[in-house]
Structures are given as C-alpha cells and as structure tokens.
Amino acid sequence: MVSKAQLQDHVFSASTIRAVIGLGNPGARYVKTRHNIGFRVVENLAEQLNAVWQTTDKMEVAQVSMTVDGSVSSVYLIKPQTFMNESGKVMVFLTKKGIKPEQVVVVHDELEKPFGNLGLRFGGSAKGHNGLRSIMGVVGAEFWRLRFGIGRPESREEVGDYVLTPFIRPEEDKIGQLLDQACRLIFG
C-alpha cells in the first residue's frame, strides 16, 4: 500500500495519466533480465489493452484509448529503444504532445525493494538508476514511478551484472501475477 507521505502531497489518479514508460534495454539479449522489468510491465499492459506497437528509432510506442474513472483518455505506452542510459530522450516526444511530467508513470526495476514488492510514488531521487537519471535530466524529478522490486545482490560490485541477469526460476514463475498486479496499480 502506498502511504500519503510517499506521494509527497500528490494523489495518484489513473485518469490523469497520459503516458506509461517502461524502462529496459532493446534486444533479445536483455528480454528477460531484471533491468527489463519495465518493458515487461508495459508489454503486459499493451496486451491487456490490445495495443499495436509502432517502432521509431528512439522508441516503441502504442497509443490506446481507455476509459478510466468514467472518462475516455488517450494514453501512450512507451518502451525506449535508446538503451537505459538515454531513456530521457522519449520525454521530448511526450513534451511535444503536451504531456506534462506529472502525467507520466515510469516503470522501473528497484534494487532497494525485495523481489516482487511493488510501489507507486511521486518524485524522488534516481538512487543510482541510470534510466531515471536520464529522464530526470530532461524533465526533473516530478513524475510518477512504479518501482518493481528486484532485490539486491550481496555486494555492491555485483549490481551491474545482477541487473542484467534473468530472474531465477522461482521468481520467473511469479512474474505473470506480478505483471498483472503492476498494471492494476496504474489503471485499476
């Protein structure tokens, strides 16, 4: 459950969301890695909404119309194709569409949460996450984050390798359920 303190005086409303960005790295090598859980959440959401992906040089994007809280909204689902460290480049596209940072949810892996722990919060620091740092470099920190817990390796030196490895079998067995739960956190 998300506390009001975590939301820093912002109340989440799915009806105000205009874009959901899943962070990850493009390419078959990264598909099932921990760092790509953002892609997997957005892919799951696209599947639920029967969205069709279009590919550009900077992103895969799907635009869907959906009814949230009784009103119809147009929402962009985005998978940046710039690699994690340059994820912020997609924010230029959203800004041109008139979408404000506070209307965006960024879905990312979170080392500070145990595997499967999901949390929604507004703002905050990048905590060493290069994808978040890239987005913050373009629009600041005032956007929503869906933090998907992936756990942490024992040693700080192992983090780079850890995030680029696949989930272990018992974790992967739970991913489908967690992806659905993450989608419900965003759009109910």
Q: Is residue 18 in a domain?
A: yes
The structure's pTM equals 0.93
Q: Which domain holds residue 139?
A: 14-187
Has 129 been annotated as catalytic?
A: no
Q: Per-residue pLDDT for the chain (188 aa), expressed as one digit of tens each?
A: 333 334 446 788 888 999 999 999 999 999 999 999 999 999 999 999 999 999 988 899 999 887 777 777 889 999 999 999 999 999 999 999 999 999 999 999 999 999 999 999 999 999 999 999 999 999 999 999 999 999 999 999 999 999 999 999 999 999 999 999 999 999 88
Task: Provide Rg for the chain, Cα atoms.
Answer: 15
Specify which residues 74 forms β-bridges with: 65
- Into how many domains does the chain fold? 1
Choice among 10, 35, 108, 129 that is catalytic = 35
Q: Is residue 70 in a domain?
A: yes
Backbone angles phi, psi at 165, to 5 degrees: -105, 155
Q: Is residue 158 in a domain?
A: yes
Question: Under DSSP, is residue 95 helix (H, G, I), strand (E, B) or coil?
Answer: helix
